[in-house]
Structure 1
């Protein structure tokens, strides 16, 4: 056995791909031309991730416009006036809003997975959006002839299909992105919204066997976009007890950017389920300084004081570029940080004798 280490998801897209996506949106190039550029970016991403020594890679979300709304690309069911998410630096991101039912995904994540598997020589994991995030698309005023209960039933079916398609395609792990978990506590300090999110995600996960759930993970962070966050000021103590009730076999938590990581580890150790493995963030994607392998090693050793090494893994705090237009972190910096995580995790494993 050795300590497992996994990337969370996105890495910054090459400038060529960002430019091509803009040109396609402006009608300057064809879909086939965009696809050629995207394929080059994907192959380069897989090659560079494998060069870091990563035992498990992702597609870097190179062809997702957003980690959150990829299932809705091209949908005719949406209008742009949805929930607004404010970030600490003052910028915002806005979700679309559902205009009519029945709700259906237009794209499923197994397509990204299969594309990456064509070029990968190591196992590939796949990130999918948690159904709780998509639930925010239903308008507060409701929809005539299509109730929220009907919407949630359809959403659970679509989310199950998204996850199952990736498992069936051979994903090493399918990771539910649950960044709205911490944000929900900020929006509703009573915890009611968070608990509703937990229950909704469990409606999907309960459709999978214990063996399948061992390959399904859940990622939480305070958001990461343009070097800013949306909920870092929310106390983990108000999130983690409920978060660990979600029936995922792997839990990935942002930790490197926490002011008191040992306190968070104590909370996590208390609530971690008997059948769950914890992956702790040892890389801060927002910090422009590349962590040294020794810094990563020490962060892992701290975690191992609270979590048994046979149930411990490492990850990045969050994706490096969850939205396609986020150029705040360079591509080279992201790969350097990933390499530091891999090397530092190996140093910790040697010291722990695992």
Structure 2
């Protein structure tokens, strides 16, 4: 018996790359060399953990996982939507200042570089349409309606996913970290419903077979060892989450205070044909999980979820924002190794039980 295990995405960047990005005085060719070396080292170290699926660690995602497609766009301003974290700091999205909305880059470029160094399948994370929809100003834009903006946004998102699938991505993971945050911002559920509907418009453009290679990730945020929506009850998110037309779901679980309650919620709301990868390591916890702890978390999950719909993952990325140095690369890879080894230990026990 094999239980699939996959990472979420980001790995802390090498200190020299972080310093170069912060200084802003590194030329294009020199910076590209730092990016390439960071990707090469990340892919090699990822492979050394035994992970059957890897990512590029989001080394080249231009400052963060959220706004990489529009970084550097000339028609944006930096004073957009605010994301408050529990530690007290705030991240801001760019605001669309004038038409049209267009991606500046697609994630398949990141995938291509990782595949140059990889000897195992590579998955690719992309940002959700609902996250980028927050760029449109509440007061609107002259001559560019919200409906036209959303049409352009969905077209760009579809293009990005298709490019990643065509490039041979093992999976394309849509990051929906704003799902739980939506409930915090609007407890009525209206904002979350609008996010689910918008993302389903995108997912509905793909065939059933394609959607088996597409997944959705949800977590309460992770930046500088701090979440943005940990206080939101999963009961207010999961029933809507599993209405998404995706084949795979990556659900943060290791950092939850009552994992059994969340597993019961997942069981109640997951649908046939959906595989749920539950988080068994907590990136914002500095303690490194042992394989035995991961094993026990997997066995616990197997008590509540069908084995043919179960997978394991990390709760979230280890450094979704490039200046986040709260976790070291060594710690990240140690946690990943524990996830891989612990999942294998659990699979062996479960196989023995079924024989």
Using structure 1 for the length normalisation, give the TM-score: 0.98
CA shift, 1:302, in A, is 0.7
| Partner residue of 1:345 out of 322, 337, 343 | 343
Structure 2 partner of 1:43:
40
Structure 2 partner of 1:73:
71
Q: Distance in 1 between matches of 2:230 and 2:224?
A: 14
The answer on whether the counterparts of 2:273 and 2:309 sit within 8 Å (CA) in structure 1 is no
Structure 2 partner of 1:207:
205
CA shift, 1:239, in A, is 0.2
CA shift, 1:308, in A, is 1.2
2:81 matches 1:87: no
Q: Distance in 2 between matches of 1:89 and 1:34?
A: 31
CA shift, 1:258, in A, is 0.2
What RMSD in Å do the two structures reach over aligned CA positions?
Answer: 0.8
Structure 1 partner of 2:117:
119
Q: Distance in 2 between matches of 1:350 and 1:311?
A: 17
Q: Distance in 2 between matches of 1:183 and 1:39?
A: 33
| Partner residue of 1:164 out of 162, 165, 171 | 162
Structure 2 partner of 1:249:
247
CA shift, 1:29, in A, is 2.3
Structure 1 partner of 2:192:
194
C-alpha distance after superposition, 1:57-77 (max 9, x if no partner): 000001111100000022111
CA shift, 1:309, in A, is 1.2
Structure 1 partner of 2:258:
260
Q: Distance in 2 between matches of 1:206 and 1:6?
A: 24
Structure 1 partner of 2:280:
282
Q: Distance in 1 between matches of 2:213 and 2:313?
A: 16
- The gaps in structure 2 that reach 5 residues or longer are none
C-alpha distance after superposition, 1:295-335 (max 9, x if no partner): 00010011101111111000000000000000000110000
CA shift, 1:273, in A, is 1.5
Q: Distance in 1 between matches of 2:276 and 2:338?
A: 20
Q: Distance in 1 between matches of 2:48 and 2:337?
A: 8
Q: Secondary structure at the match of 2:225?
A: coil
Runs of 4+, deviation exceeding 6 Å: none
CA shift, 1:30, in A, is 1.1
Structure 2 partner of 1:52:
49
Structure 2 partner of 1:10:
10
Structure 2 partner of 1:217:
215
Structure 2 partner of 1:61:
58
Q: Secondary structure at the match of 1:353?
A: helix
